[in-house]
Structure 1
Amino acid sequence: MRLDKFLKVSRLIKRRTVAADAADAGRIKVNDKVAKPSTKVYAGDIIEISFGNKTVKAKVKEIMNTTKKENVADMFDYI
């Protein structure tokens, strides 16, 4: 799954365009490498997102094309 879509579906970032803009600006890393919006995300990958002075790290547990709010916790774990 594309990085921007995963971030939207998992609700780490609310909109896919916002996720794509953040990736284009170099604020998202996948496995310690700066990622593009089209970067493929797999189970076990570590995603690091920089929001100003705050950084969020998450490990991908499962890839789902769609999910309900209650099942978001199945997609990733905060590190």
Structure 2
Amino acid sequence: MRIDKFLKLARLVKRRSAAQEMIELGAVRLDGRACKSSAEVREGGVLEVAYMNRVLKVRVLCSDEALLKRPGTVAWETLGERPVAPDRNPWEDG
């Protein structure tokens, strides 16, 4: 499944267009690398999503579109979360 669609269906972002914009700006990483909206998400993959003041790191548990559309499906598990100052690059250490 495309990463932009996964972010929307997994409820990590509200709209697919917002997911595409975040990806284009470099606020989303797949398995430690910058990616494009068309990148394929697979079960076991690790996503990092930089929001305004935090970076959320998750492991993909389900990448099946039909299952993600069903209520109650668990799409991801949290691996970690760290705060980031809004004026800092979320991918820089320190």
Give the alignment's TM-score, normalised by structure 2: 0.76
> Shift of residue 52 of structure 1?
2.1
Q: Which residue of 1 aligns with 2:72?
A: 70
RMSD: 1.1
Q: Which residue of 2 aligns with 1:19?
A: 19
- Answer with 1 or 2: which has the greater Rg: 2
- Between 1 and 2, higher relative CO (CA 8 Å, sep ≥ 6) is seen in 1
Structure 2: 5+ residue stretches without partners: 80-94
Aligned pairs for 1:33-72 (under 5 A) are 33-66=33-66, 67-71=69-73
CA-CA distance at 1:62 after TM superposition: 1.2
1:69 CA drift (Å): 3.9
Structure with the higher helix share, 1 or 2: 1
Q: Deviations over 1:21-49 (max 9, x none)?
A: 00000010000000111111111100000
Q: Number of residue pairs matched?
A: 77
SS at match of 1:70: coil
By how many angstroms is 1:63 displaced? 1.2
Whole-Å separation in 2 of the counterparts to 1:12 and 1:69: 15
Q: Indicate the percent of aligned positions where both proteins have the same amino acid.
A: 29
